[in-house]
């Protein structure tokens, strides 16, 4: 593809395909005609008719088509200038077709004012080429011209993921989850990025229907819905999806550019996309994006040597964290003391080696050691930095975990699971917490009291302008009840009135999880840190917190060695 002037001066497309015969060439520029269809009017699988775009372009520009079929002795050429069609003439050409458009809108100059700047039009052409390249990885594309640098996209054969990496960047290959699902003769394939691999706009979402690039609102909305709980507000997931179905079940002629389509059963298509992506995220979504490590690498500067570095004085061993140290212990647990104790002790029920170096055992008769904890996906905890970040050693690198974000996700998943099974146990407060609020906030809270009760949070009206909290979810442990209820009141005021009860309960669960998780500034013992890592490995979606931020980043040993020039 060669262009000039953002496509206004020149657009030339050259291929080495099957070519057209002289008879087909004459038919290609006749309005409403095509040589592609013989007896398959109800099963059209091509991307368009020659008799649609070509005659329209020829009526407003200078169009020339040169083509030669494979095995033919010579080619043919036809021209259309301002709607005037020339005769088909013999021409020397390679096998394939050349379509050349010059002086766009020369015949209708009034339309030129509707075009954008040359830079914007050139960018639009680039986007079209990228979408076609993703749809057809076995074809090599070269885009060049006086208004751009050359863009070459080599063929990748049947390797669709490699072609996607060419368009979306090499990092997409390391952060993509494969999608392969079907429902009622509709097939969905492609790749979706992990939630923490996101962008600032939706330009990196590509959807194809029977090989046709589309930008349909229904499909893009389904992608957003699938990532609703995992991507931060204002960020957009990266995804490339391909839908294959019987052409009779989709209408592609509802938009002049065929960028919008209409499905016979839109609910089926949306449900398939949302379900397939969520299932994939449940399966592999606990991975964190590799871009976190890249950003860390970029933060380092060669030759950096801090001055005045002094060894820190010895510090006393930190006091082990225990839920029992809080002065506001609940009186009792309603509905399951054992459940509450199990949840609160999850950080101490797994025995792991400490971060302290131990003397090497030289006794050959000693018992064989237990499996190395570094072999776990998130490795073994070695240290805690700034009482918020856990440093863990893996088999081939290290992992840095945000302890608050990670535990927040774990608590949220526990509460969400409880929503779909049974009412989670609650803990009765020794003295009910009285919270003063504006009257309208009290009314909103009481309107949703039944939903709170389903999560283990029991509130009652306590006179004008106040509510009383009598029970809190046991899995939250000691929680700032005042802050929790006030935040719930603020969020309820912002809820869309059309939100379903299930969505509202999800919001409540996320808010409670944030308040009930391990806070920043809390010192943790090695066995507690290791227990947190093991829980993360067994929890779907643990790669990001409820707000979509990453819970951990991984740095490979090769990256560390490169920092020190050892690669």
Question: Would 237 be classed as within a structural domain?
Answer: yes
Structure tokens at 292: 């976190």
- Helices marked H in 136-252: 160-168, 170-174, 217-226
Residue 82's domain is classified under what CATH number?
Answer: 3.30.565.10
Residue 187's domain is classified under what CATH number?
Answer: 3.30.230.10
Query: Of 557, 510, 556, which is closest to residue 288 (Cα–Cα)?
Result: 556
Question: Would 306 be classed as within a structural domain?
Answer: no
Same domain? 85 vs 185 = no
Q: Which residues of 417-433 are buried (b: 16+ CB within 10 A; e: fewer)?
A: ebbeeeebbbbbbeebb
Question: Would 362 be classed as within a structural domain?
Answer: no
Locus of tokens 């006749």: 30
Question: Would 541 be classed as within a structural domain?
Answer: yes
pLDDT tens digit sequence for 447-474:
888 888 887 889 999 988 899 999 988 7
pLDDT tens digit sequence for 413-432:
877 776 667 777 888 998 99
Q: Confidence class of residue 373 from pLDDT cuts 50, 70 and 90?
A: confident
* CA 162/CA 179 separation, integer angstroms: 15
Same domain? 447 vs 495 = yes
* CA 419/CA 510 separation, integer angstroms: 12
Residue 478: predicted pLDDT:
76
Residue 561's domain is classified under what CATH number?
Answer: 3.30.1370.100
Same domain? 482 vs 518 = yes
Q: What average pLDDT is seen over the chain?
A: 80
Say yes or no to pLDDT of 143 above 80. Answer: yes
Question: Would 309 be classed as within a structural domain?
Answer: no
The residue from 106, 121, 152 where one domain ends is 152
- Helices marked H in 522-567: 526-537, 557-563
Q: Confidence class of residue 106 from pLDDT cuts 50, 70 and 90?
A: very high
491: which residues sit within 8 A by CB, 6+ positions away?
507, 511
Residue 503: predicted pLDDT:
53
Same domain? 515 vs 482 = yes
Q: Confidence class of residue 132 from pLDDT cuts 50, 70 and 90?
A: very high
Q: Confidence class of residue 333 from pLDDT cuts 50, 70 and 90?
A: very low
Same domain? 466 vs 554 = yes
Residue 322: predicted pLDDT:
38
Question: Would 205 be classed as within a structural domain?
Answer: yes
Mean pLDDT in residue range 195-213: 91
Same domain? 42 vs 106 = yes
Same domain? 168 vs 199 = yes
Residue 358: predicted pLDDT:
41
Same domain? 104 vs 189 = no
Residue 276: predicted pLDDT:
94
Residue 497: predicted pLDDT:
42
Question: Would 538 be classed as within a structural domain?
Answer: yes
Same domain? 280 vs 290 = no
Say yes or no to pLDDT of 83 above 70. Answer: yes
Same domain? 293 vs 280 = no
Say yes or no to pLDDT of 546 above 80. Answer: no
Distances (CA, A) of 289 to 298, 461, 544, 549: 15, 45, 9, 10
Locus of tokens 């979408």: 131
Residue 457: predicted pLDDT:
87
Cross-strand pairs, 14:
98
Residue 353: predicted pLDDT:
38
Residue 160: predicted pLDDT:
95
Cross-strand pairs, 251:
262
The residue from 152, 177, 207 where one domain ends is 152
Indicate the pTM of the whole model: 0.66
Host domain of residue 410: 286-300+325-355+371-567
* CA 247/CA 45 separation, integer angstroms: 7
pLDDT tens digit sequence for 475-510:
777 778 888 888 888 777 765 443 444 555 565 666
The residue from 152, 169, 184 where one domain ends is 152
Contact 428, 459 (CB under 8 A): no
**Domain count across the chain:** 3
* CA 415/CA 424 separation, integer angstroms: 8
* CA 438/CA 440 separation, integer angstroms: 6
Query: Of 392, 369, 396, which is closest to residue 379 (Cα–Cα)?
Result: 392
Same domain? 147 vs 167 = no
Question: Would 347 be classed as within a structural domain?
Answer: yes
Give 239-270 as a 3 state SS string. EEEEEECCHHHEECCCCCCCCCCEECCHHHHH
Starting at the earlier edge strand, list the strands of the sheet with 397-402. 380-385, 389-394, 397-402, 552-556
* CA 480/CA 484 separation, integer angstroms: 6
CA 479 to chain centre: 32
Same domain? 562 vs 430 = yes
Q: Confidence class of residue 110 from pLDDT cuts 50, 70 and 90?
A: very high
Say yes or no to pLDDT of 320 above 50. Answer: no
């Amino acid at each position: 593809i060669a262009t000039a002037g953002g496509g206004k001066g020149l657009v030339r497309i050259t291929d080495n395909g099957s070519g057209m015969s002289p008879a087909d060439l004459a038919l290609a520029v006749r309005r409403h005609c095509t040589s592609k269809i013989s007896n398959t009017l109800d099963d059209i699988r091509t991307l368009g008719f020659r008799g649609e775009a070509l005659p329209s372009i020829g009526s407003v520009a200078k169009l020339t088509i040169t083509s030669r079929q494979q095995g033919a002795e010579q080619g043919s050429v036809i021209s259309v200038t301002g709607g005037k069609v020339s005769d088909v003439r013999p021409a020397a050409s390679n096998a394939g077709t050349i379509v050349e458009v010059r002086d766009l809108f020369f015949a209708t100059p009034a339309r030129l004012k509707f075009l954008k700047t040359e830079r914007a039009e050139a960018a639009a052409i680039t986007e079209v080429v990228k979408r076609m390249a993703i749809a057809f990885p076995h074809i090599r594309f070269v885009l060049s011209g006086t208004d751009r640098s050359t863009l070459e996209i080599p063929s990748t054969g049947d390797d669709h993921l490699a072609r996607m990496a060419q368009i979306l960047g090499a990092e997409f290959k390391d952060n993509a989850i494969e999608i392969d699902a079907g429902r009622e003769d509709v097939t969905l394939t492609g790749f979706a990025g992990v939630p923490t691999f996101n962008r600032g706009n939706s330009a990196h979402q590509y959807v194809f229907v029977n090989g046709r690039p589309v930008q349909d609102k229904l499909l893009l909305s389904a992608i957003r819905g699938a990532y609703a709980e995992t991507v931060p507000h204002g960020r957009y997931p990266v995804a490339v999806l391909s839908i294959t179905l019987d052409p009779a079940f989709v209408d592609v002629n509802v938009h002049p550019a065929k960028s919008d389509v209409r499905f016979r059963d839109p609910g089926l298509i949306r449900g398939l996309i949302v379900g397939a992506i969520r299932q994939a995220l449940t399966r592999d979504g606990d991975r964190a994006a590799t871009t976190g490590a890249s950003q860390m690498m970029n933060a380092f500067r060669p030759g950096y040597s801090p001055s005045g570095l002094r060894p820190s004085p010895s510090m006393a061993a930190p006091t082990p964290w225990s839920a029992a140290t809080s002065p506001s212990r609940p009186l009792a647990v309603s509905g399951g003391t054992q459940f509450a104790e199990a949840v609160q002790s999850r950080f101490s029920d797994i025995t792991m080696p400490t971060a302290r170096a131990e003397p090497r055992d030289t006794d050959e008769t000693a018992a064989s050691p237990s499996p190395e904890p570094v072999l776990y996906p998130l490795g073994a905890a070695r240290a805690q930095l700034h009482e918020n970040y856990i440093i863990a050693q893996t088999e081939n690198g290290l992992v840095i975990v945000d302890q608050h974000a990670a535990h927040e996700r774990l608590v949220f998943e526990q509460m969400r699971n409880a929503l779909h099974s049974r009412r989670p146990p609650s803990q009765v407060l020794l003295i009910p917490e009285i919270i003063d609020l504006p009257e309208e906030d009290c009314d909103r809270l009481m309107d949703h009291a039944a939903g709170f009760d389903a999560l283990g949070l029991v509130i009652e009206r306590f006179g004008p302008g106040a509510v009383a909290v009598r029970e809190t979810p046991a899995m939250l442990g000691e929680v700032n009840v005042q802050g929790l209820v006030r935040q719930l009141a603020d969020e309820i005021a912002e809820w869309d009135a059309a939100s379903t009860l299930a969505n509202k309960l999800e919001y409540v669960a996320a808010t409670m999880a944030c308040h009930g998780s391990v806070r920043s500034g809390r010192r943790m013992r090695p066995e507690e840190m290791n227990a947190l890592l093991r829980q993360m490995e067994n929890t779907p979606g643990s790669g990001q917190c409820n707000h979509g931020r990453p819970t951990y980043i991984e740095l490979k040993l090769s990256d560390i060695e490169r920092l020190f020039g050892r690669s």
